[in-house]
Every structure is written in C-alpha cells, then in structure tokens.
Amino acid sequence: MKSGQSIETLKVSRRSLLFAGAAAGVAATLASVAAAADPVAAEAPAGEIRAFRANIPEAALADLRRRLAATRWPDGETVRDRSQGVQPERLKALVDEWQSSYDWRKAEQRLNAFPQFVTGIDGVDIHFIHVRSRHENALPLIMTHGWPGSVFELIDVIGPLTDPTAHGGTAGDAFHLVIPSIPGFGFSGKPMEKGWNPQRIAAAWDTLMKRLGYTSYVSQGGDWSAIISDALGRQAPEGLLGIHVNRVERATTFPPDAAQALMSGAPVPDSLSPDEKVIFAEARDFLANGFGYAAIMGTRPETIGYGLADSPVGLAAWLYDKIADWVFTRGDPEQALGRQAILDNITLYWLTNTGPSSGRIYWENVAGGAKLEPVKVPVAVTVFPGEVYRPPRHWLARAYPQLIYYNAAEKGGHFAAWEEPQLFAGEVRAAFRTLRS
C-alpha cells in the first residue's frame, strides 16, 4: 500500500483495521497498514457515523491456516455420545474444511453487500448494518444477535424485513433495519472498562437509533439480545414502541414455587400441570448439564479467554458446542445451518479476537445483578420449539404485563433467525403489526 493512501481508499478506519486483525502473529502486518492510514480520519469526532467495510488482511488468513495445521488434538473421549462435549469426528470434519477449502472472502462479500457503519457511543465504537426500506412508513427496528452468534445470524432476514413485498409480505410489513454488533463482539470495539452490561448496551442502542434520526422504533432479540431488549423495555426511553423476543428469562417468569424447587433441588411442585412439569424437567437438566459455559464466563472470562485467543480449534470447539446444543436439530448444527454458515460465524470471532471479549458480557451481567422489574412497554413473544426454555403464555404475566402477542412456532431453535429466516421474519411482522401507526 502506498504511504499516501487515505482511509477512504482503504474503506475502513484505523480502529476498524485493528478490530479486524488477527492475534499477535500478524500484529506487525496490522500495524503497518494502520500506520499508513490518515491519522486525522482515524480519530473521528464524537457522534460521527463512519462508513465501514470488512477487509481482513491476507496475513491474518494465512496465520489462521498455519495455526489450524499445527493443531495438537486431545485424546479421544470415553463415551460414544455428546455427554462429554464436542465429538472429535464432527470437529475434525469442520476444521478440515476450515483449513482446506473455506473462503472467508465470500463471508466478507456477504457482509459488504449491506451498508455498514461505525459510530462511537459512550467511549466504544459500535459497528452496525443499517438498511432502510424502500417502502414508505416502514417501522424502524433495531435487532441484535447473541452469543455464540454474530450479525451473521441475522443476514438472511434483512431482505424479508426491509423488502417484504419480495418475500411474501406486504408493504405495510416493512422495517428500516439496524443490526448492531454488541460491544466486544465482531467489528464493534472492546470495552476497556467494566460496566458494559445489558442495561448499558440498551441505553447505547437508544442513542444509536436516535442518532440515526429515528424518533420512534421497536427492538427485537433472542439470547443476549432478548436480555438487552428487556432492559430497553424496563428503561422505556421515549420513542420505544415495544419489543419482540424469541428467548425468555427464567428468573422473571418461572412460577415462584417452581423456581424455589429448581434452585434447592426439591421435587417438581404438584401445582404444575403435566406440560409444565416437562418445562421444569428441561430447566433442571439445562442447569445441571448445559450451564457450565455460562458459569465459566460469568466468573472467569479471562481464564478461558487465553485459550480462545490462542487456538482457533479451541475457539471453534467452544462455540460449536453451544450451537450444536441449541439448534432445533439437536447435536447436528450442520443440518440446521450448514457448515459454511457455522464457519463464517466462528471465523469472525477468530479474526477479530473476540472470543475472550464476547464472554465478558456474562461476567458483566452477574456483576450488574438481577433486574426483575416488569417491562414497561408492549411485548411480543415467539416461542420456538427448539428453544432451551419454552414457557407457556400465562407464565409471562409478571415480566410482561403488556403482552400483545404470543405464538408457539412450528419449527426452529434458539437461533431462529439463522435457522428459519422466512418463518422468523413472519413472526416479527406479526409481532409488531398492532404497533404501527
């Protein structure tokens, strides 16, 4: 690159290049690229919205392939099922494709097909996709990913939501769509101070929507983005019309006697119906056998972070394990999502070195304490059959006193937008229909 080449030519800011960098093995490459960028453009004024394009240095991709080739694999498991974690044959097949034939540039092209931006909010650069609908009176919607996902979870619903007439809907279903990367995830900045819990992220999202000129809007989320949407709903900033979630918090919705039994280890209460006892049993199984990842990141995110930053296979196993656990096709995420999509998501974590930083949201949430007060705005809920927790409608009254929509979908899991984009888009349209002016 010529020394006089500007940041506009690079299509990416100095900070964005740093976000896109690989680990220490390619630090020199990133430093040389960043040094050639315009230092004035790199220090953008507070509140400015800058155009962004993903453009990972080739050296970072070569470093990834080198690390994959040098993997030291663990000994085989002592069971023939998934009870000890990710099975070697599945992970080795994934890594073999990652090393030999996977093409990150195609993933970049998918991202760069949409308008992307970065803006500083509360001291952290926020990366986001922003697609305005061509339809008049479209409803502004901020929609967020979760962990172990990214903006790749939501790409396939952009078309159906912003241009519904091309995807089986009507012009009256259209949305202006904003899809941010959570701080510490993807191309967003990594907070350098504690306190970036869901409440603070929710406040940042309100700032973002108003900075984009939206005086009224709705919010949607599953996983962490459901928790962020709940936090927005409790804050109820002026202009927030309502929220839609496809993941519900147990702490705010479990019946008190069942919650006490769940935490104490007591038998399931007789007050629960047969269907509710199934939900109770699933919750107990999850806490006993599927919650270890959250306990680690909620207490020691830095400790697990060393391995996630240094080993791409370690990172892949950590993320793949929960993707496999939570898709509708339990244990078979390739069937639900396809290997290419799984690798796009994992590679984004690797190239931005956000395996460690993304885990801190668990620690921040624990440190911030439980927020159990009801949501103050209208709420819509879709329960997908492959979700980890599937509460019945009447369990939601305490958390969501203004429940305007509830539906149990026929298929789809925890990653509903990723697994079933058309079905998911239909749910979002239905959820907010009564809130349109």
Q: Would you please indicate which residues are annotated as catalytic (active-site) residues? A: 223, 362, 414
Instruction: Pick the closest to residue 97 from 381, 305, 312, 282 (CA basis).
Output: 312
CA dihedral 396, 398, 404, 409 (to 10 degrees): -10
Is 383 within 8 Å of 332 (Cβ atoms)?
no
Q: Who contacts 347 (Cβ-Cβ below 8 Å, separation ≥6)?
A: 64, 98, 102, 104, 107
Which residue, among 245, 252, 230, has the nearest Cα to 377 in the 3D structure?
230
SS3 279: helix
Question: What is the enclosing helix (H) or strand (E) of 139?
Answer: strand 139-144
- Are the CB atoms for 283 and 255 separated by under 8 Å? no
- Cα separation, 43 vs 177, whole angstroms: 27
Coil, strand or helix at 85: coil
- Collect all residues with Cβ–Cβ distance below 8 Å to 295 and sequence separation of at least 6: none
Q: Count the helix, strand and coil residues of the chain and give each as a percent rounded to the nearest 5.
A: 50, 10, 35
Q: Helix or strand or coil: residue 300?
A: coil
- Report the C-alpha dihedral over residues 132, 133, 138, 143, rounded to 10 degrees: -60
- Which residues pair with residue 220 across a beta bridge? 143, 244
Query: How buried is 313 (Cβ within 10 angstroms: 0-12 exposed, 13-18 middle, 19+ buried)?
Result: buried
Helices 339-352 and 355-368 pack at an angle, to 10 degrees, of 80
In the numeric block, which tokens belong to residue 351? 């190239």
